[in-house]
Chains A and B, each alone.
Chain A
């Protein structure tokens, strides 16, 4: 194994790993500060914050010879015997000077800067900078201009790392951003008439190490140190990007990508990024209701648990739409509940909205046309319950609509949870298919033509309000935690199903997951603690037990 020596500490790296000094040092627990380098972008080695001393140790003599000058850690690959020194006076002085240089023209307006608290310039200055200013004191200027509909630029805060420029050239492939002028007069800008407007634009804000690029959706909404972070998965499409939901007091403020080499690398699309506002839409359903002559009457959840079962049982043959918004655990419990009510219950995957084709970008990122997160997970669950047609396919929404119109089907339970406040996922014509039923249960986030016909109208939980596991279009399963509590009056679906199954105590998603994993080969990979980046269901199935 190749050995790298970081500040005297020997670490081993993989035989065919290609690491730079920053990555190798990180393995040794040593952080080499850097601005311009990002693992998802080309190397430019221009910020000069990662300057270190490097050399090599002769394998035979053990003699160390160092390169006489400083080298950028980002641009210097390591190999067997590479010696990295990050704690010498030379390195320390160089970092302090880069920090000093970056602050010469910087407005230092941290108190009114949204980035304060998560700013590399701040962090590095505390750690590597010098406490005294030596350069002249500049008159305060902090200019702001929008570079696109969603992103704004605080021109004077920019440290010219060019991450944002490289992102638009290398990842989104749209190249809207550029550097104008020269020397200390340089600025990030757009070409006249070509604003920063692409489906991945929001990522430049995450990439910006300082407070130069601001997301207009988040700007001045919350101080970042108040935000709690929960590891979630985006429900916007079947790509299932790993995200961090950032929230405070049960309110979401922003979503950010969470690094996942198997799924989304470092990025998310804007549709997903801003796809949380429906959670706090005032028109959300927040009350369980049962139809009476003059509309819905509110009903306690404890009563829902028993009476819903009774109503469905009394109605007769049951058809269930298992929503692809549900987690694997919820889907599995729903199927179990349904079959306990009607052992012959017809199970189908709920509506799968699709908008256009998959859209791929030069950096390898793909936005999926299928706008739900867990179709494959739900299909696999239905397979466990034998809900498979003769041709091997799992019935879907169209088959459910057919069933709903059959004479022998008397009841339907449609789980939905689609993030469309206008309820447009189901039009009148489709909803009319359910007209002849004795009992229609609709569980959704918002009213729709379907809920208007329901006998039972139950509120659903949003993506950040549930915990569980989703399986993306590539059969990659990720478990995630619940970020916020749903609005008062709302039980996440899992809680209802758990109670309807008569289970004791609080709903325990990971307990359910273990149970599913133990009882099915298709989900065997879900056993035990899952890595934050998830597991591939198919790969694990091939591995011997």
Chain B
């Protein structure tokens, strides 16, 4: 594990640099030279091998091995092959993609060009969420600069490799970040995630082989090309020798720290930093001298860590061991002791009920049912039975139990089941206090007429 004291941020090295987002500045920091070298010296399979051996795992949420994903593309495909860069960043609490796009867009472009070269894609789409106008401006300016400088377009730097990058602005929906929802949206359709198989690597955008990777993943590829595989593997948490299925958590990671901390922000740290180290070391501790009640480990979808679980390492394997869904987007949100977990869960349910694409029955109805129950509980008409129903929804909705097409439902389920499992007492107390005459009711009760959602 890297020493936190000596760790130097690389992904964020442009932050705070005057005109750091410009091509000139990026080049002065060593940017694009690795690309030129690589185009001149390496064949695409060698680049795939480089990324594979670095152990890089996708930063978009699922933590899938990036190099391995690239090898799923059909061999000797006549093309076109597409690369989609996922900049839909809509997981609540997450803003690291935005910082990269605004402050160091060329790092992303370099990573994208390298990844396209490795995957033999001659077209890349950056799918950007609508609500990021500044990212849109800075990315588009960077793309224009890169074209002018010969890093994009035909025959890049005489290598024979050609690439066009299109910046596509979405219309604002969480589900557009799910990779096949993104592809559907890119094709001009409603972003309903596709059933898999076929996976995008076989049949993706416009029915052609497609790779989808996150913005931060692209930045990591650029850094691996610049600093080497050994550098990358020297950071983070090595694979567990006792678990052959653990590929380890290598490299630097951008943690988005927000909520009730003194110094919220996007911090670069080695994978494996614990939640407590992050909050105390980077964030200046929980605000106002309060204690944390719970912490979201990686975006709201990942569930909750209780205060007692804050020493959980935030690598790809850590949060799972504490019953959370995973590391997700590494968006750490601190919830202080004054916050009602009932309110937290209500907020979470409202988000997912609003964002469920509505395709799968269990997700469409489960997210809205859970919201309706939380609405009623907060209106002082909760029943203990609701907790059982909520737990049942939490345990049965999602790709993991097999009841849905995409992972949004798992993300909706995890906060529910973590909150009820880890804070059941608080829920029971709340319900008994707020509904002293009806909390034991088990028969169906009238639904409240108004929803706070939509």
Contact = CB atoms under 8 A, between A and B. Distances in A.
A51 B295 CA distance: 35
Q: How large is the interface on A (under 10, 10 to 19, 20 to 34, 35 or more residues)?
A: 35 or more
B202 interface: no
Contacts of A186: 358, 364
A184 B353 CA distance: 7
B403 A94 contact: yes
Interface in B359-388: 359-362, 364-369, 372-373, 376
A75 B173 contact: no
A54 to B, nearest CB: 10
Nearest to A67: B402
A11 interface: no
A70 B354 contact: no
Contacts of B366: 101
Contacts of B389: 134
Contact of B361 (A47, A71, A135, A182): A47
A138 B353 contact: no
Query: Which of B361, B369, B444 has most A Cβ within 10 Å?
Result: B361
A185 B401 contact: no
Interface string A174-197: 000011011111100000000000
Contacts, number: 109
Interface string B10-48: 000000000000000000000000000000000000000
Contact of B367 (A49, A135, A183): A183
A257 B414 CA distance: 46
A67 B400 CA distance: 11
Given A69-B401, A97-B396, 6 more contacts: A48-B360, A48-B361, A181-B358, A182-B356, A184-B364, A184-B365
Given A105-B365, A135-B444, A183 B356 contact: yes
A136 B445 contact: yes
B353 A183 contact: yes
B354 A137 contact: no
Nearest to B175: A182
Query: Which of A43, A49, A102, A134 has most B Cβ within 10 Å?
Result: A134
Given A135-B444, A136-B444, A183-B364, A45 B405 contact: yes
Interface stretch (B82-90, B307-315, B327-335, B446-454): B446-454
Q: How large is the interface on B (under 10, 10 to 19, 20 to 34, 35 or more residues)?
A: 35 or more
A160 B372 contact: no
Contacts of B402: 51, 67, 69-71
A338 interface: no
A67 to B, nearest CB: 8
Contacts of B446: 136-137, 139
A341 interface: no
A46 interface: yes
B357 interface: yes
Interface string A25-58: 0000000000000000001111111010000000
Contacts of B399: 69
A181 B359 CA distance: 11
Query: Which of B173, B359, B446 has most A Cβ within 10 Å?
Result: B359
Contacts of B404: 48
Query: Which of A45, A93, A181 has most B Cβ within 10 Å?
Result: A45
Interface string A85-103: 0000000011001100110
Interface in A133-155: 133-139
A179 B372 CA distance: 23
Given A134-B444, A135-B369, A44 B358 contact: no
Contacts of B362: 48, 97-98, 101
Contact of B195 (A45, A98, A102, A179): A45
Interface in B426-454: 444-449, 454
Contacts of A67: 402
Nearest to A103: B365
Nearest to B454: A185
A159 B361 CA distance: 8
A70 B403 contact: yes
B358 A104 contact: no
Nearest to B400: A69
B444 A182 contact: no
Contacts of B403: 48, 51, 70, 94, 97
Contacts of A48: 360-362, 403-404
Contacts of B361: 46-49, 98, 101-102, 159-160
B367 A44 contact: no
B131 interface: no
A185 B357 CA distance: 10
Nearest to A102: B361
Majority SS of interface residues in chain B?
loop
B354 A183 contact: yes
A519 to B, nearest CB: 55
Nearest to B353: A183
Contact of A101 (B358, B365, B447): B365
Query: Which of A46, A70, A137, A179 has most B Cβ within 10 Å?
Result: A46
A44 B448 CA distance: 33
B355 interface: yes
B203 to A, nearest CB: 13
B447 A138 contact: yes
Nearest to A46: B359
A417 to B, nearest CB: 48
A98 B396 CA distance: 11
15 contacts: A43-B195, A45-B405, A46-B360, A48-B362, A67-B402, A97-B362, A101-B369, A102-B361, A105-B365, A135-B444, A136-B447, A178-B190, A181-B358, A183-B353, A184-B356
Contacts of A101: 361-362, 364-366, 369
Contacts of A46: 359-361, 405
A136 B173 CA distance: 28
Contacts of B445: 136-137
Interface string A111-147: 0000000000000000000000111111100000000
Nearest to B365: A101
Query: Which of A72, A136, A183, A185 has most B Cβ within 10 Å?
Result: A183
A313 B359 CA distance: 72
Contacts of A69: 399-402
Contacts of A70: 401-403
Nearest to B445: A136
B398 to A, nearest CB: 9
Interface string B117-131: 000000000000000
A51 B361 CA distance: 12
A446 to B, nearest CB: 49
A133 B190 contact: no
Given A46-B360, A48-B360, A98-B361, A136 B372 contact: yes
B444 A75 contact: no
A101 B356 CA distance: 14
Given A48-B403, A69-B402, A94-B396, A184 B360 contact: no
A48 B398 CA distance: 11
Nearest to B197: A75
A185 B449 CA distance: 15
Contacts of B353: 183-184
Interface in B158-201: 173, 190, 195
- Listed from nearest, the 8 A-B pairs whose CB atoms lie closest are A69-B402, A70-B402, A101-B365, A184-B368, A136-B447, A183-B356, A186-B358, A46-B359
Contacts of A44: 195, 359
B444 A137 contact: yes
Contacts of A179: 190, 358
B86 to A, nearest CB: 20
Contacts of B367: 183-184
Given A71-B402, A136-B376, A183 B360 contact: no
Query: Which of B354, B364, B369, B400 has most A Cβ within 10 Å?
Result: B364
A178 B364 CA distance: 17
Given A46-B405, A139-B447, A182 B358 contact: yes
A111 to B, nearest CB: 20
Contacts of B195: 43-45, 72, 75
